[in-house]
Amino acid sequence: MSTYERLKDLHRKMFVRGQETAAKEVAAVEFAEQQGHAKVVLEAAAETITRANELAAENPQLRQLALDVEQAVREGAAEAITGGRQRAAGREEAPEASPFSDSSASSTRGSLKSPARKALPKNSEPPKKRGPGRPRKES
């Protein structure tokens, strides 16, 4: 193995190690953000459920409404918390591209298509005559 090949191999290994380290740092920051978000959601949900129960205690006719509110808040909080985790997991499953691949495709997606052009509606009225005033500048 020549010196060039050894250096090339070392460069690949160091690049991969750097990418893994950066990915771990980003994951740690995202996890901390998700935990903060979850805390805010849970606090808001707890406050909402507490207030609904207080209203139901004051007025027995509102008990069913309080139960419905409590159920909706629980479901919404659970979706808000687990939805963030599922989106993060979806990003982790994305395919990775190697900058060292020997054959690189120019594009894996189809080219962007331009939207169909629409014709402007034809105006059947003749242009109105302008009133007195300064005439327009013509280019």
- Tokens describing residue 5: 């090949």
For the chain, what is the largest distance between any 2 Cα atoms, rounded to a whole number of angstroms?
89
Confidence of residue 49 (pLDDT cuts 50, 70, 90): very high
Q: Could you give the residue ranges of the DSSP H alpha helices within the chain?
A: 3-58, 63-92
pLDDT at 121 over 90: no
Taking the CA atoms of residue 34, residue 38, residue 40 and residue 44 in that order, the dihedral angle to the nearest 10 degrees is: 150
pTM score of the predicted model: 0.47
Confidence of residue 135 (pLDDT cuts 50, 70, 90): confident
Q: What is the mean pLDDT of residues 84-100?
A: 55
Other C-beta atoms lying within 10 Å of the C-beta of residue 84: 17
pLDDT at 28 over 70: yes
| Whole-number pLDDT of residue 137 | 81
Share of the chain above pLDDT 70, in %: 71
Long-range contacts (CB closer than 8 Å, 24 or more residues apart) made by 56-64:
none
Least confident of 26-30, 46-50, 95-99, 117-121: 95-99
Which residue type sits at 16? V
**Residues 47/98, Cβ–Cβ less than 8 Å:** no
pLDDT at 106 over 70: no
| Whole-number pLDDT of residue 26 | 95
Domain definitions of the chain by residue range: 3-92
| Whole-number pLDDT of residue 102 | 53
* Structure letter (DSSP) for residue 52: H
